[in-house]
Structures are given as C-alpha cells and as structure tokens.
Structure 1
Amino acid sequence: MTSVRRARVEVSGSVVGDLSSPERPEPSVFVYRERVPEQSAVSVTMPVSEASYAFDGVHPIFAQNLPEGYLGDIIRKHVAKLYGSGDLTVLATLGRHQVGRVVVTADDFAGMGDEHQGESLGRLLAAKDDSLFEELVEKYALRSGVSGVQPKVLVPASISEKSTLRTEGYIVKTWGDDYPQLAANEYFCMTVAREFGLPVPDFYLSDNGRLFIMSRFDRRPDGSWLGFEDACVLQGLLPEDKYSGSYEKLAKTLSLFLSPQHRREGLRWLFRSVLLSWAVRNGDAHLKNFGLLYCEPFGERWLAPTYDIVSTTPYLKRDVPALTLSGRKVWWPLSYLKNFARQSCGLTTAEVSTDLELLAQKLTEIADQIDSYTTKTPAFTQVGTTMSQTFRASSHEITFGVRPQDI
C-alpha cells in the first residue's frame, strides 16, 4: 500500500472536509465540504470557509496528536512496514483513536485497532512488572493518538466497570532507565496541583510504581467528544516548536480564546500552573501542556485541566524552564512570577499572596508524603530525596524570600 496523500476529516463522527498532504515542499491543503455548519469547524483558528487552508506541513490542529518519542517510534515503524510513511498515513491509521473530536481517516483504515475491549482500572493498578505495559502497547499502540515523549498509551476502559462509560479511558504512562521512577514523580507533582486548587483529571499510581494512570478529559458525561486544542495549535505552531515563545505570550493567547465567563478563572489557573512548575522545577511546561476544551469551537471555551507536571531536575540537574518569562529562561526570582500574575494574568496583589501562601503549605505537606513513600520504596530514594528537598526549598523561598542552598 502506498502512503496516504489524501484523507477525510471528521468532526464528532461527521465528515466535514478533505485533507491533502503531498510531499514537501508542497504545502498541505484542507478544504471544507459544502454546507458544513459553523459548530463543526475543525479548529477555533480555522472557521468554516469556502477558501482552502494551506500549511507548510500538516496543519497544527491535525499534527497536535501525532505520537512522539517511544510511542511514535513504535507506531511509525509499524505503519511504514504495512501502509507507507508520512504524518498523514500515521493519522489515518490512528483514526478515531485520538484526543479530541477531530479525526483524520481514509477508507482503507476504517475501524482499525478496535478488536480489544478495554482494561479495568483495577487491573492497571495491580500491575506487578513491566510485562503489563508491554502488553498494553502491543494491544493499543495503533489506537493511541496522543503526543508526548514519555512512554505512554491510550487505553479504553473496560465496559464491565459499572461506573465507566465505554467511551471513557485512560492515558497510561511508564518510565525507562533514563528517567527512573517518573510515574511516582508525576503522581506527587500532580497531587500538589490538585491540593493547590488546580483542575486535574483523576489520576493514580500503580501498586508497583511502574504506571501513572490518568483519566482522559476529552469526554462529556454523556460520552460525546469535547474539542481540545493545545497552545501550539492556538499559536499556529507545529509540535516541534513547543519550546518557543514566552509565558506572557501564552497568557495573551489564552486570554484571546477563552470565553469571557472563563477568562479570569482560566488566567488564574495559568498563573498557578506556571508557579507550580517553578516550585517543583518542571522544565517541561511547554506550549503543548496547555490547552482549551469546548463543545463547539465558537461557543463556550474553557482551560483544559492541568496535566504532565513532573519535576525534571532529579534527572537534569541544570534544567531550565520550557518558555521564557521576562525574556529569561532561568528559575526566576519570585518577583518575576508576581509581576506575571499581575500584568499578564490580571490577578490582584491579594490573590497572588493567597496563592503563594497556599502553595507553600501544600509543597511542605506533599514533601512529607514523598518522604513517607521513599521510606517504603527504597528504589525511589534518589529521585524522591531530590524532589522533597526541591519542594521544601521552594516553600521556604515563598515564605521567607530566600532560597536555601541549591541542591
């Protein structure tokens, strides 16, 4: 089979347009079909129009779910052997199994990867060794249209779980020798996020610490799909540009696209998220880790839950922030973050003080939990000790204005 050069695009199960992607240097072109309603636009950046949309590469709204890293290597190798190469071929192979409501598909790929019926949360949590994740990859890799370098896979929830709709599922992550104990690392960072008042999906750590399991957040309670667009899409950038730009520009972008009734709350959540990444030393808070959700692209739009928060300095001691703030990519003085809160996010001085005080408290509480987990899990000692010291140092800096000696 030759590589896919032309595919259909669906929104919530209805065909809305056609996407052609010849080999570069020719641009990809998307064209809406006739009589497509406004609410079926593929993106807030691409309203329904008679004119075509051309882009140098696959358009950001379609490229946002291209698998990366470990999962991307597996999928691209498999797809190339059977169907040919190219981003459009990968997207057509993934079909319905992507984050959000937009699907790229082609006739020869319809229904691929649907033979498995899902997994129970109990089975995922009871993982005993690496073999379960390897099994999940074998079963679900070709239905895992999700970005990110960390080893991960989209896993549908078992229909036998009484509290779970068939359309729901999980993002399941593991770790390798290059980033040991990353699942527990993310679990504790996300716990801080939740305790700090940020919206987060449900998340879990497997009994053996090998898997971080997070519920998908692109579904409505009735099982219908929500639209999701990350900040790369909103800024017209491809995934490889996720480390470009600044948090100030990100705030402007979100302010532009958030609905008025969600703007103030969303910008406060943005400040809290950037502040949290500073506190835990998360050098991977890039553009693809922020996004919007909506039922209809030009209706109500709100900030997506917080996700992918990890402490990166246990692995990269001299890591720096993913984006600039006040023109600098360093672990900024607290004054930079306060200015960002007031000038870019519109917070009052009282709101900033409240958020700082709350975060300082939660960092210390979760550091205590990390210490307890480390005592029970010796393999976590090196990573956990660094995380605990980092959390306590950030809490100290927030409270007293001075950071203890760097680790």
Structure 2
Amino acid sequence: MKLDVHVCGRTVAKLYRERDEYVLSYLPDTAPTDFVSLTMPVREEPWRWPRDLHPFFRQNLPEGYLLSIIREEFGPLLDGTDLSLLAVVGGMGIGRVTVTPEGGVPGGDMEPLQIESLLKAKNTTAHFASLVRRYARVSISGMVPKFIAPEENADASAHVVGKPTLRTSRYIIKGSDDSTPYLGFNEFHTMRVLERLNIVPVARTRMSEDGCILVVDRFDVDVQGIVTHGVEDACGLLGLPPHEKYATTTERVLNATRVYVPATAIRTQLEQFGWHLLTNYVVRNADCHAKNIALYYTGLKNVAYTPAYDIVTTQAYPRYAANPPGLSVDGRQTWAVGKTLERFFKARLGITPKQYAEMVERLCESAVEVGQEVIEAARNEPRWHTLAKHMVYAWNDGMTSLRSPKGLVVFRGLHEAIAQVGFSEPERTESGRKMIGRSELLGKPRKR
C-alpha cells in the first residue's frame, strides 16, 4: 500500500512500508517550503523509520473511543497497521498535512453540522455517540470523545477552493462521558483562568447550554476553514509514539520544541510556555502531557507555540483526583512544588523569581474571579453543583501550593466564597493513577 502525502492540498511525497521500515519519499521538485514535518525537511534521500509509522504521522491518529468506532465502521479497510488506519482517516485532520490512498483527494464529503443547534441541544451520551460515529472518518487524536465536522451555513465564498488549498471544519467538538461528566463546563471555565488575563493566546471555546459539549475554534485554519498552519506536538518532535506521551519530562519537551522557535521570538515564546505550565498547577490539570504542548507554523521562520488548549481541572473528578502532574519538573512529579518551579523558570525560561511570583499571583487572582463565576453558575444550574464544588476546591489547593507561606501579604482565595455557598467537603478520591479518556461509552465491538 502506498499513500499520497499532501501539504495544503499539494501532493509532495509518498508514504509506504518497505520490509520492516516505513518510508517517506519526497517527490522530485518539491519546494523546500512544502516540508511535511519540522523533523523531516525536503531532501532526495527518503526518510525511514523502523517498525512503526514516523512519529509525525502518528500524532493525529485517533485514540480511545473514536478509534473503537473507526474499527467498527471501517474494519474491512484495516489490516491492523497504522498505515491502513491513516489511509482511512488521513484525508481530513489537524494541520496542513493530509494523507490519502494513491490518487485520492484530501478532504471529505461529510454532512454539515449545525453548531449553534448543537450548543442548545440536549446532549445525551447516546446522541453524542451517534455524532462521533457519523463523523468518525477524521484524523484527530485524544482519548475523550471528540470529532471534527463541517459546519452548516458557512460562508459561501469558502466553498470556492483551488487546487493548492484545503478546506476543512473550523471547529473541534468535544463531549463528556460517565467518568468526566460535564466536561464542557469544566474545560470552558478552566481555560478562562488563563484566557481572561489576555496575556498569551488561548484557544477560543464555547460551552453548550447543558455543559456537556465544548466547541473549540481551531487555530490551524482561517475564518473560511482554509488550512493555514502546520501543527506538531512535542510527543512527535521527541520521536515518541502517542501512548508514551507521559514518558518524558517538562525539560525534554521544552528542549524539543524551543529549538525550532526563531531567535527573535524566543523570549516571548518562553514566557508563553511558562504561563501555560503555571496554569496547569493553579487549576490542577494532571493531563498536560507531551501531546498537549505543540508548535504551529506557516514556515520555518514563523514557528511558535500554539495557543493553550486542553486545560481541564482533572482533580475535579474523584477518579482522577489523585493523579500527579502529567510531566515531571526537575525530577519531581508533585503538586507540592516548593522552589522547584521557580528554579525551572529562572534556569530554563529566563524568568526571574520576582516575575515568576507576579505570574503566580495574576493567575491566582484570575482563578478567584473565575471561581466565583463557577459558583454562580452552579447556583443557577443544580446539575453542575458537584463538579463546580470540586473545581473550586481544586483551584484553592492549586493556589495554596504555589503561593509562598512565608509572605506577609494575605492573599485572596476561594475559601470565603466556598463557605458562603455552603459547599461540603470534596468526595474521597480514588487511589492510584488513572488515565483520562477510558470512556464509559466504549462497548463491545459489533460482530460482523
């Protein structure tokens, strides 16, 4: 089996298996700007990878629930290899690179989805499962239920697509499952802690009225859905397969990504990395791994960290509340950071202890403000009560662990707001680390 590899709709390479290796071979006269990956620039000699697909091509392969659906729906087209899976889903996905069977055309003819109606609908587990099944033939990674779909009522001018362009959906739609109820509510408000500061780019999100669905604006496409950017996560840049996304460190992730950032932008980009890292500690997101830190670019001279995405208060779910941070810092994988983060910021990011303390306090102040919004939302909608309670308790824990206990200033927290609303103590956490995304939606495969 040979696959065509396209960059923004232009066919630039062939991808195939040769004995025990996977091979990416650029076509003659491919422009240097049409590189497939930062790690695989255009050259005459093929790029080979032993046993498995090159890490770049594995970064967007479906996981978890979506992968199980694809296996059910397209089983006859799959031979057990990632190459055959890529042949099924690679025609539409995240970033400027698409993959099709030889002679195939990137993109897909899928039924449009009314995004606004979805935000107002009653999004039951069964309803969302049917949507995932309908839009399964798309290359998107992640363990939680999600999909990409073309939206209805898009700008008519966006349908005029020339050969060098590729039009796709402007949104990623994420759902909840039984282990992460109201995930849309959780992620929407958690992301707001960083977003409302308006300091660094953050992916724009919208929550459905029932709190079950999150619609995320893609940052790799323009307002017409034309792909503009390549996207590569740190997992692929490190040469790791997706299932090893936790098997690295913050230092290695930083080293693997910063090398591609232009020198003129390195200071602001390292600060952006720092804001993202700190936010995870404030809101207690244990699921920031090597696939949730990524670069995007239009060319080698315009490489930057993507807007922050996939920030969730994992401690709000008892099943995952005992999980430590996804990646270690200075050999430590704990929420009790002490001086560890401050030293990392100074030595690795060039951020002074004074600036670090200011960043911590700005994030904590934002967490207090958004925390009060979360409490108010729970007052108005009882179904969010338990999740909201666990979220604000988690944020209080995060703020306490980052602020210096020796400070003379009495810092604002959420204790008073929690007491006023009458929240009880959080539920007991389940022991042992558990991975996000083992969806309760998963069922037994259908017999054929």
Match of 1:180 in 2: 181
Tell whether 2:59 aligns with 1:55.
Answer: no
Distance 1:83 1:236, change over 3 A: closer
Match of 1:349 in 2: 353
Match of 1:263 in 2: 266
Where do 1:319-398 residues align within 5 Å? 319-398=323-402
- Maintained 8 Å contact 1:199/1:306: yes
Where do 1:46-85 residues align within 5 Å? 46-56=40-50, 57-85=52-80
- Maintained 8 Å contact 1:98/1:145: yes
Structure-2 separation of matches of 1:163 and 1:19: 33
TM-score by length of 2: 0.83
Where do 1:85-96 residues align within 5 Å? 85-96=80-91
Match of 1:306 in 2: 308
Match of 1:199 in 2: 201
Structure-1 separation of matches of 2:404 and 2:158: 46
Q: 1:19 aligns with which of 15, 18, 24?
A: 15
Distance 1:219 1:129, change over 3 A: closer
**Matched residue SS, 1:114:** coil
Match of 1:169 in 2: 170
Structure-2 separation of matches of 1:245 and 1:145: 24
Tell whether 2:9 aligns with 1:8.
Answer: no
**Matched residue SS, 2:378:** helix
Match of 2:26 in 1: 32
Give CA-to-partner distance per residue, 1:66-88, whole Å, 9 cap, x none. Answer: 00011111112322234543211
Structure-2 separation of matches of 1:224 and 1:64: 18
Structure-2 separation of matches of 1:341 and 1:174: 34
Question: How much does 1:221 deviate?
Answer: 5.2
Q: Which has the higher contact order (CA 8 A, sep 6+)?
A: 2
Question: How much does 1:209 deviate?
Answer: 1.1
Give CA-to-partner distance per residue, 1:332-389, whole Å, 9 cap, x none. Answer: 3241111111111111233212211201101111111111122222222222211101
Structure-1 separation of matches of 2:116 and 2:85: 31
Q: 2:95 aligns with which of 100, 104, 124?
A: 100
**Matched residue SS, 2:291:** helix
Q: Which amino acid aligns with 2:44?
A: E
Give CA-to-partner distance per residue, 1:138-180, whole Å, 9 cap, x none. Answer: 33111x2110000001122224468988644211111111222
Q: Which amino acid aligns with 2:353?
A: T
**Matched residue SS, 1:327:** coil
Distance 1:105 1:167, change over 3 A: closer
Structure-1 separation of matches of 2:48 and 2:347: 35
**Matched residue SS, 1:62:** helix
Match of 1:145 in 2: 139
Tell whether 2:149 aligns with 1:155.
Answer: yes
Question: How much does 1:390 deviate?
Answer: 1.6
Tell whether 2:138 aligns with 1:136.
Answer: no
Structure-1 separation of matches of 2:282 and 2:90: 38
- Maintained 8 Å contact 1:334/1:398: yes
Q: Gapped runs of 5+ residues in structure 2?
A: 160-166, 407-412, 416-424, 427-448
* Range moving further from structure 2, 169-178 or 89-98: 89-98
CA RMSD of aligned residues (A): 2.5
Q: Which amino acid aligns with 1:9?
A: V
- Maintained 8 Å contact 1:252/1:344: no
- Maintained 8 Å contact 1:95/1:109: no
Structure-2 separation of matches of 1:188 and 1:94: 31
Match of 2:429 in 1: none
Give CA-to-partner distance per residue, 1:282-308, whole Å, 9 cap, x none. Answer: 111000001111112x22111101111
Structure-2 separation of matches of 1:249 and 1:22: 31
Match of 2:240 in 1: 237
TM-score by length of 1: 0.91
- Maintained 8 Å contact 1:7/1:20: yes
Structure-1 separation of matches of 2:18 and 2:121: 43
Structure-2 separation of matches of 1:404 and 1:114: 49
- Maintained 8 Å contact 2:246/2:290: yes
Tell whether 2:114 aligns with 1:120.
Answer: yes
Q: Percent identity?
A: 30
Match of 1:317 in 2: 321
Q: Which amino acid aligns with 1:18?
A: K
**Matched residue SS, 2:259:** helix
Structure-1 separation of matches of 2:316 and 2:335: 15
Match of 2:288 in 1: 285
**Matched residue SS, 1:236:** coil
Structure-1 separation of matches of 2:67 and 2:61: 8
- Maintained 8 Å contact 2:23/2:48: yes
Question: How much does 1:207 deviate?
Answer: 0.6
**Matched residue SS, 1:9:** strand
Structure-2 separation of matches of 1:287 and 1:124: 31
Q: Which amino acid aligns with 1:7?
A: L
Q: 1:213 aligns with which of 215, 230, 233?
A: 215
Q: Which amino acid aligns with 1:34?
A: P
Question: How much does 1:132 deviate?
Answer: 4.5
- Maintained 8 Å contact 2:100/2:106: no
**Matched residue SS, 1:245:** coil
**Matched residue SS, 1:289:** coil
**Matched residue SS, 1:148:** coil
Structure-2 separation of matches of 1:362 and 1:148: 28
